[in-house]
Amino acid sequence: MGILNCTPDSFFPGGRAESLATAVNQAREMIRSGADILDIGGESSRPGSDPVSLHIELERVLPVVQEVRAFSEIPISVDTRKSEVARRAVLVGADIINDISALNEDPEKAEVAAEHGAALVLMHMRGTPATMQDSPFYQDAVGEILNELQPAIELARKAGVPDNAIILDPGIGFAKRLEDNISVLREIPRLRASGFPILIGHSRKSFLGALLADKHGKARPVEGRLAASLAVTLYAASHGAEILRVHDVAETVDALRVGLSLSSPGESDR
């Protein structure tokens, strides 16, 4: 899943697309590089970020979805907390609703997904992007994540979303400490045992900067986290994650082709 942020303030400058032309060019490049899904978002969810208005988010997202759909049949995910953005996006070609709030902020997204036959990503987060890193704490991160996602799963089912259209995202970096992120990644098989496909969104996130801190404790800047992102990609893929949400599609595809060829004979041609 290639990340296409149509925002001026996403945490990774190299992943920002502030104009329609830039976004479309980035989408074309991701598709050429081997992306299986594009995830288009118009509102930053970095720690401490503030929400944007419905009008601004629609202006950022809808033209990109329309343009991409005009030249490609690639599955398009719209990353939004707003049901109206989701509704308008699926009407012009989106296939997946990616909700970082797991229906907590706007439950109507479940009805939108059911009505239009869209898949629904339910991501775990406590609080909002502005507050989520205010003293998060877990005793059993994966167990608590699965327990806290269960109401959203039931709400989606009640709205008519079939189980095979529900995807779970444990929310790496969202209301998680460094040790929580590591625990979640180590326990991907436990997440997968829920029966739902698992999406892992780890690309260039701050926990990688912390793991790569220098001898003075200074975190590695976002621009220097590609190799670490690829390491997590290979680990997550080999432990059952079905969807890997990344900024660096070409490098990720290369890493997966080589990694899969080593672990499974015949997989190198995927």
C-alpha dist (Å) from residue 14 to 7, 9, 213, 227, 247: 11, 11, 21, 15, 8
| Catalytic residue positions, numbered | 205, 245
Q: What are the tokens at 42? A: 């118009």
Helix (H), strand (E) at residue 244: strand 243-244
- Do residues 118 and 76 touch, judged by C-beta distance below 8 A? no
CA atoms of 156 and 150, how far apart (whole Å): 10
In this structure, the number of other CB atoms found within 10 A of the CB of residue 244 comes to 24
Give the closest residue to 68 by CA, choosing from 34, 97, 26, 36.
26
φ, ψ dihedrals at 200, nearest 5° = -115, 120
Q: What is the DSSP letter of 160?
A: T
CA atoms of 31 and 28, how far apart (whole Å): 5
**Cα atoms found within 13 Å of the Cα of residue 252, Cβ hemisphere only:** 29
